[in-house]
Structure 1
Amino acid sequence: MIGFIHEQTYSSNSYMRKIILDLAMTLDGFIEGSNGEIDWCIMDDDMDFDGFLAGIDTIFYGRVSYDTWGNFQPDSSANETETNLWKNVHAKKKYVFSHQPRQDPGAIFISEDIQQRVSAIKQQEGKDIWLYGGASLIKTFIQSNLVDIYRISVHPIVLGKGKPLFEDLSERLYLKLVESRAFKSGVVQLIYNADTK
């Protein structure tokens, strides 16, 4: 969930919103540890996460991720940078994909017709959309070919086991590398467009 997206010119006539899967991954291909742990994630100053957030106005969550992070507030000892980051995240429009629909003042819950609902959201005027996850929602979006841009930040750590990014694919997934960036921590960000051939 790290990176920068160049400023786009947004209009309903010339730009179709993109769904961006922007996340951290270990060198051996896991996005979470076996128990959902993400304590291995690194956030360098030069990753410009604020720049990434400036390019989106909507976030897609799974229910568990939303319940954990969708309304997260840093504690009183957090520095100004962290406080502003979460304030910026929470200013985005939030959709939650869940088999357990509910009324929530902070988000719109979607429990059926995922592909049709996602297509309708993409056609609305606005900026790009961050596919936050978690693992189950990411798997569903990948299998349904709903991801337009993969922004994978590969961390210099090997877990040995955990929840893989890519699993249970029925066919090969072809991607086109459009950018790569190396950060001082050793994290390497790889940005791919989904190949629609």
Structure 2
Amino acid sequence: MRRLVVWNVMSLDGCFEGTTPWSLDHHATVWGDELEAFSLQQGDEIGTLLFGCRTYKGMADYWQNETGSIADMMNSLEKAVISRTLETANWSNTRLLKGEAAEHVRALKKETGKRDIFVFGSSNLVATLLREGLVDEYRICLAPIVLGAGSPLFKPDGIQKNFELMRADTLETGGVVLRYKCL
């Protein structure tokens, strides 16, 4: 069975973005050769890149206009977007999945002969999948910055979720890449 792996950059105070959507300046505090190499390495593990509607739109708008090895990877990967409202998904290699996220992810995980499913960003989608017990691994790059305000990576929903640390790697930029198994 395919695994579902979530990847995000998070500030020390738990935010994945600032106070406005796509406020991601804190990513620059951890970006460098090491994180670029890690990103490309992760790309080799990805069978399907999964997004919620809002993250899909932002990623598509950004990566379709970029060049370089990361852009090549992002544009060539198989992608899926889960949405109740989106009518089309025109980014290369994207399929649109309408309806309930958990049902679609259960089906994606059963697909044979493919590498793992990765979710970048998409905090609302991830909150749903985490509640449903569908996330297998969480990868977080902890950025050495306190934003003071912003969107929390983990949504307060009153449900405790336990993780087991699998690996921690420090970056020359001061960031730490943490890999957790979801229990």
SS at match of 1:153: strand
In 2, Cα distance between the equivalents of 1:189 and 1:161?
22
- The CA deviation string for residues 137-160 of structure 1, in whole angstroms up to 9 with x for no partner, is 222222222211000110000011
Q: How far is the alpha carbon of 1:105 from its aligned partner?
A: 4.2
Query: Is it true that 1:112 corresponds to 2:99 in the alignment?
Result: yes
In 2, Cα distance between the equivalents of 1:31 and 1:22?
11
Contact 1:60 1:133 in 2 (8 A): no
Contact 2:101 2:129 in 1 (8 A): no
Contact 1:101 1:110 in 2 (8 A): no
Q: How far is the alpha carbon of 1:192 from its aligned partner?
A: 0.4
Instruction: Output aligned runs, 1:7-156, within 5 Å.
Output: 16-36=1-21, 37-41=23-27, 42-47=30-35, 48=37, 49-70=39-60, 72-74=63-65, 83-106=68-91, 107-125=94-112, 126-156=114-144
Gaps of 5+ in 2: none
The structure with the largest alpha-carbon Rg is 1
In 2, Cα distance between the equivalents of 1:168 and 1:23?
17
SS at match of 1:67: helix
Q: Give the structure with the higher percent helix.
A: 2
Contact 1:74 1:83 in 2 (8 A): no
Gaps of 5+ in 1: 1-15, 76-81
Equivalent pairs, count: 174
What is the one-letter code of the residue matched to 2:49?
I
Percent sequence identity over matched residues? 26
| TM-score, scaled relative to structure 2 | 0.88
| TM-score, scaled relative to structure 1 | 0.82
Q: How far is the alpha carbon of 1:86 from its aligned partner?
A: 0.8
Query: Is it true that 1:179 corresponds to 2:167 in the alignment?
Result: yes
In 1, Cα distance between the equivalents of 2:103 and 2:54?
22
What is the RMSD of the two structures over their aligned residues, measured on CA atoms?
Answer: 1.6
